[in-house]
Chains A and B, each alone.
Chain A
Amino acid sequence: MKVKAMVLEGYGINCERETEYSFRLAGAEPERVHVNEFIWGEKKLEDYQIFVIPGGFSYGDDHGAGTVLASKLKNKKGEELIRFIEGGGLGLGICNGFQVFNRMGILPGSDENYDLEEVALMPNDSGNFIDNTVNLVNKESPCVFTKGIDRVDFPVRHAQGKIYGEDSVIKRLYKKKQVVMQYAKGSLTKNDKRYGYNPNGSMGDIAGICDSTGRVFGFMPHPEALNSKLNHPHWTIEKEVYKRRGEKMPLEGEGIQIFRNAVKYVQNNF
């Protein structure tokens, strides 16, 4: 079947093209849809199985990351989006998209409550934007996007990525297995300290969470910016390792797995 993904664009979103590209590599038929086309009803959610808010600086992130776009979407399309998710659709929020989902109250989506704001993405502890690569540990969770991933290095690029919530909320997220990915650091890191760190001071080193069904997933890292092996900061090192074993380095980026999982889920469940 054709797997259709609506990739939002406009109003300062800026990762729409590589997100579209990654979905295409993963076998989906992605379509970039302007926020206004969505809001004006020119493009309808019912024609898609996956709804994606890519990274960027929607509305310049001026009043808290994702805030204004969240207000706009919730105001105009909130109920429709909830219906879409309840009807089995997938939601993916990457970086700014994750921030939007949280501000809309779609995430954390515990007990399938998609109208409760409980988690915030605060400014990084450093007080500044950071672009680096982090090593992530994939926890046991119902998340459909991260199936089969154990550990992975993804780029992070944000100024407001510190997950914060009341202790009770964070505890519940752990308990209900809604914590999907954690920044690997300290003892979590097996034998490689190169990227073992928490880039923003996130509580519990949390990088991403999903709703209780696992169909809505939001996280700070950028899998779409690892659409090719050549995006990885160490590919020239890895290439030497492959070469000296007489092998050719595979060129697919580890980020594609996230998108492929979504495509597979849709193919199996729709």
Chain B
Amino acid sequence: MSTSQLEVMLKPGLEDSEGKKVKKKVKDYFGINIEDIRTIDAKTIDSENLDMENLELAREKIFTNSVTQISSFDSLAKSLDWDYMIWVGYRPGVMDPAGQTGMEAIEDLTGKSFGEGGGVYTSRYYLLRGKNLGSGDAEKIANEMLFNDIIQRCKVLSREDWKEKGFEIPSPKVILDYKPEVVTLPVKSDEELLKLSKERKMAINPRDIPTITKYFKKAEVREERAKYGLGDPTDIELEYIAQARSDHCNHNTFNGKFYYKDMSTGEETVVENLFEEFIKKPTLELAKEKDWVVSVLWDNAGIAKFDENNNYTISMETHNSPTTMEEYGGAITGNVGEYRDKLGAGLGSKIFMGLYGFCTAFRNYAGKLKPKRHPRRISDGEIEGIRDGANKSGVPTPFGVTVFHEGWLGKVNLYAGSVGIMPAQVKGKPTHEKHINDGDLCLMVGGRVGKDGIHGVTAASEEYSEHTPAGHVQIGFPYGQKKMEGLILEARDEGLLNYITDNGGGGLSSSVGESCRYCGKVGGVEIDLEKVPLKYLGMHPWEIWISESQERMTLAVSPDKIDRFMELAKKHDVEATVIGTYRDNGRIHINYEGKPIMHIGLDLMKKDFPQWEFEAEWTSPEMRGLTEPVLSEPKDYNSLLKDMLARPNVCSKEWIARQFDHEVQGGSVIKPMVGVERDVHSDAAVSKPVLESEKGFGVTQTINPWYSEIDTYWMTANVIDESVRKLVSVGGDLEHIGGIDNFCWPNIQYDPETNPDGKYKAAQLVRSNRALKKYCKEYKIPLLSGKDSMYIDGNLEGEYGENQKVSGPPVMHFTANTVIPDASKCVTMDAKMPGDLVYVLGETKDELGGSEYYDMFGHIGINVPKVDVEKSLPMYRALQKAIEEELVASAHAVSRGGLGVHLAEVAFAGNYGMDVNLGKLIGSLDRDDKILFSESSGRFIVTVAPEYRKKFEKIMGDYAITPVGYVTKESRFRVRGMHGDELINQDIGELKHAYKKTFGDLV
């Protein structure tokens, strides 16, 4: 095997923007001054089939831009001036996207194949120059910024060390030093299975164990198995069952039984099944009422009607654990994995919009606890992950939420959502239905299988040897998936697909195991596992079966259409392999090299595995000792408002929005940043998924960790109400609002030692679900999709070497979407014209519990905002009508930070001044600070041209009796208090500066 190292760098005279960026970050992160950083990209080319001439051709034609770069098969660092060298490369087996495309490019150029075991591996040198730079600094920069031990390898060398010893890039080639085998695992007793489960890190729930042991002991099962030469369960069988029964796949918590007790009222109730009662039942009821709901609760995404000819598909996922461990990889795989849910929804949909949510501790965290990765690093890395995943997939990402809370120090929340569009029918068949026929071929399409993600996060604690692949966290390969999308959409349009689903958690085990249920009457499949294409030889069959290697789909294609499908696969340059045949015999059967290794009745999974049970004890806010704070009215409102606008959870996060392409596909209508300078966050995003159509698709997201500290019931109610208002404020249609619930909760299983407040957390979950049901029902929001992630906890080392458990705040992240009949009637939140009247719709109450204002002073309070749909909804309807009649110049939903923040935003987004008189507001609240910063639900700020005043007020009736102020040409933001005294008189530019400065120097 011959290996060559190619090094490429910018010509020495040119500025290295990557190096410059790192230099700035080093200064920001650590306060270390570096004179210069230059980067050198290394490509390790490993192939027996290439000669020097081929390599030279590749160097010149592919890897070197003669205008800007120099390159060499010799070291470039030799001739440069530097003090420390940091080399970073991937561990064996980690997806190396640039390596993949480099290999593709060389093969294409030379016409030669790399051959078995060949490859291109990319890595990078950072050359640091600085007079006062010490080896400790270089180590710190490497460890805390440039490299992650989980997926990468790193070497730090001083110039002297390098001169003396040199440095050779270690090969990241995967070499498995064992032969594939299948092991039979006699399970004589429950105890034995439990022990085995622990040893093999299968994580079978102890409650499930008796059902499994019993199954393999049954006479008829043993008899049938004997026919195939099978006796006791094999490793692949037990691994399959463990995967299929995991909480991740089964949502055992949400399907659990809850014994709920309200300690303040004594109320005791039993919730037989959380999911059934609070999510499934109400959604099915609403689906009957809303004829635009097409398909919910079973597929990879919810499907609903966009117009007569098209349906949209939607879902939102979390990727919390992987992102906490490796932020870039966790975010990018979460993101492109979520896209696959759209590719695998119905018979396949095209992704037209991506969404994100970043929840971490504060970027400037400087507390005593020592998270493995600083929140700032996680924040930067997850943004890059979503950026690369989304931009390289050609998916516009126009909306997201970014929230900071110290509770996320232990484990972060990473939300990734997307929306797809597909023709409602293809070749006369509805695309939201999928059926497999006995005899259909089972295909695996896309990436190859490696030891990726086997046993998920438990593998993280395993020790590495030099050539063992890093399994658990992966890097996404959006380019590969984009090619696959092209194939799938074309195959769908030709009617070649009978079924499609993605390979996510559980890999083939899950995708084949699930899809085979849709074959005929009882389902079934027969797989020849050796046919699965592998990244490297030597994997055990059970590993192939449960590997979570990315960018793969599982498909059912009928035999008469397979040739055409394979033609298309060739055209799109996507690997597609028939790995078996679907059967209607109720069995999932696997052969490996002709020998049966798994044979399990599909009914096993339907059997009565015991339901999980939880005790839930609610203690009211009063019982927990919460009160309103003792706080007098402030005197300096000017500074207060500026400081409020600059707070991390209020201020601009434009630097994030601008990194995400939000205009690709050409349908962008309302962008993430709006206003005359395009620098204030929009309430919602609107896009046109069908360019020929007038219709718009609107979406927004809401999350609120603060109200949960008082009552998760009201947290949930407010999150839903805020979502609805944000949609209405851009022109959303109240008759068509879909929702997605994403619960991210700390562990709710009570344990006196490790989770002493588990019962309270379980009660918080029940209360949140109660509110979810009630408010979705009242706003008529069917839940098109939803997910839960139940272990938002982390154990962090403290100042004295102690370990502290940090539980994340319980949150229900809500995504709400709407279909707008005419996108040209949409509205943005910025003030449009001087002289326009300013209205505040909805009542401002003494509801500052959990508010940003109280938080500013370190208080929680107790008066959490309540939601009253009966009162609000008619007003929302009236506003929708006023917007439809084009009477509204701007509309903004009032949320975090209250009227003070939102009135200012409306003004400075338009670069206009505003005069507001709080005395004209409705409501009986009698303190100016409370009026300005209360977070009461149900409110909007609307500006209206004077000529439309009458029409507008007529439509709004009692909801908008009189304007509270007007937009001014002079750029001052003026607020008079309820007694007429001037509270705020500020230059708009200064307010905007405060809003933008906090993260203003981030790019």
Q: Which residues of A contact B (CB under 8 A)?
A: 9-12, 14-15, 17-18, 21-22, 34, 36-37, 55-57, 59-64, 67-68, 71-72, 74-75, 103, 117-120, 122-133, 155, 157, 159, 164-166, 194, 222, 224-225, 227-228, 230-231, 233-234, 236-237, 239-240, 243-244, 249, 251
Contact = CB atoms under 8 A, between A and B. Distances in A.
B109 interface: yes
A60 B97 contact: yes
Contacts of A11: 479, 483, 573
Interface string B120-148: 00100000000000000000000000000
A165 B483 contact: no
Nearest to A36: B571
A131 B824 CA distance: 23
Contacts of A21: 666, 691-692
A164 B108 CA distance: 28
B945 A240 contact: yes
Contact of A129 (B105, B387, B666): B387
**How extensive is the interface on chain B, given as a class?**
35 or more
A170 to B, nearest CB: 11
B67 A164 contact: yes
Given A10-B483, A63-B102, A233-B674, A227 B666 contact: yes
A157 B62 CA distance: 24
Contacts of A12: 392, 394, 479, 482-483
Contacts of A243: 886, 945
A71 B105 contact: yes
- Closest 9 CB pairs between A and B? A14-B394, A18-B666, A127-B21, A60-B479, A62-B98, A120-B67, A127-B17, A68-B105, A240-B832
A67 B61 CA distance: 9
Given A14-B664, A123-B17, A225-B663, 8 more contacts: A11-B479, A17-B665, A36-B572, A120-B68, A124-B17, A128-B659, A131-B662, A236-B827
Interface string B910-954: 100000000000000000000000000000000001010000000
Contact of A59 (B104, B663, B830): B104
B394 A122 contact: no
A124 B658 CA distance: 13
B267 interface: no
A63 B105 contact: yes
B655 to A, nearest CB: 9
A18 B666 CA distance: 5
A224 B666 contact: yes
Contact of B109 (A15, A71, A130, A251): A71
23 contacts: A11-B479, A14-B664, A17-B665, A21-B691, A34-B486, A56-B394, A57-B392, A59-B105, A60-B97, A60-B101, A63-B98, A119-B67, A127-B18, A129-B661, A157-B661, A157-B663, A159-B391, A164-B67, A194-B678, A230-B669, A230-B826, A237-B828, A240-B833
Contact of A231 (B102, B391, B573, B663): B663
A234 B393 contact: no
A122 B658 CA distance: 19
Given A57-B394, A59-B101, A157-B664, A127 B1003 contact: yes
Nearest to A157: B661
Contacts of A155: 663
B876 interface: no
A236 B910 CA distance: 11
A17 B388 CA distance: 21
Given A59-B479, A125-B15, A164-B68, A15 B394 contact: yes
Contacts of A60: 97-98, 101, 392, 477-479
A71 B66 CA distance: 13
B833 to A, nearest CB: 6
Contacts of A224: 666
Contacts of A72: 105, 108-109
A225 B676 contact: no
A75 B109 CA distance: 7
Contacts of A236: 670, 674, 826-828, 830, 832, 890
Given A36-B571, A59-B101, A67 B62 contact: yes
Given A34-B572, A57-B392, A240-B832, A117 B1003 contact: no
Given A18-B666, A233-B674, A243-B886, A128 B21 contact: yes
B823 interface: yes
A230 B667 CA distance: 8
Contact of B659 (A117, A130, A194): A130
Contact of A10 (B20, B104, B486): B486
A221 B857 CA distance: 46
B677 interface: yes
Contacts of B482: 12, 14, 57
B14 A68 contact: no
A184 to B, nearest CB: 16
Given A127-B20, A130-B659, A118 B67 contact: yes
A62 B97 contact: yes
* Residue of B20, B478, B657, B666 with most chain A CB atoms under a 10 A cut-off: B666
B761 interface: no
Nearest to B836: A240
Nearest to A67: B62
Given A122-B17, A130-B658, A244-B833, A230 B666 contact: no
Given A17-B666, A164-B14, A120 B823 contact: no
A123 B985 CA distance: 43
Contacts of A61: 392
Contacts of B665: 14-15, 17-18
B14 A225 contact: no
B1003 A128 contact: yes
A67 B63 CA distance: 8
B976 to A, nearest CB: 27
A71 B61 contact: yes
A72 B886 CA distance: 52
B486 A9 contact: yes
Nearest to B66: A117
A142 B105 CA distance: 35
B255 interface: no
B478 A194 contact: no
A224 B692 CA distance: 14
Nearest to B825: A239
B659 A129 contact: yes
A49 B671 CA distance: 35
Nearest to B911: A194
A243 B572 CA distance: 48
Contacts of B673: 233
Contacts of B65: 64, 67, 103, 117, 120
A75 B111 CA distance: 11
Contacts of B20: 125, 127
B19 to A, nearest CB: 9
Contacts of B826: 230, 236
Interface in B682-699: 688, 691-692
A105 to B, nearest CB: 10
B743 interface: no
Nearest to A236: B828
A166 B68 CA distance: 9
A125 B105 contact: no
B668 interface: yes
Nearest to B398: A131
Given A120-B68, A130-B658, A68 B101 contact: yes
B819 interface: no
Nearest to B99: A62
A215 to B, nearest CB: 23
Interface string B393-427: 11000000000000000000000000000000000
Most B C-beta atoms less than 10 A away, residue of A123, A132, A224, A230: A230
A12 B387 CA distance: 15
Interface in B609-664: 657-664
B18 A131 contact: no
Given A18-B665, A127-B18, A127-B20, A230 B486 contact: no
Interface string B819-842: 000011011101011000000000
